[in-house]
Amino acid sequence: MSSLVTHLKDNEYFTLSNILISLIGWLSFWVSLIFIPLFFGVISLLAGYLTIYKGKVFYGALMMLMAMFGTVVGLVYSVVVVGTWI
């Protein structure tokens, strides 16, 4: 068990900036499904790009894929329910 704790402490991904980027990216993805999908979708897409830039390619690509999906679903939801693109 102590080797796991040591590994987590030594892992450079668990820094405050990386955690905040991931948190902002995933929260903006969820918000983009309902509220201003273009704005929050772009924020999530940029957070995914920054995650890839920092070395976590799989997680960044997953975030970017979900950002695109959330933006499209949010836009469709806005058009069907509200009648606008915003």
Q: Report the pLDDT value the prediction gives residue 15, as an integer from 0 to 100.
A: 79
Of residues 25 and 3, more confidence is placed in 25
Given a contact cutoff of 8 angstroms between Cβ atoms, the answer to whether 68 and 45 are in contact is yes
Rounded Cα distance, 15 and 38, in Å: 29
Given a contact cutoff of 8 angstroms between Cβ atoms, the answer to whether 69 and 46 are in contact is no
pLDDT at residue 53 is higher than 80: yes
Output the pTM of the full model.
Answer: 0.78
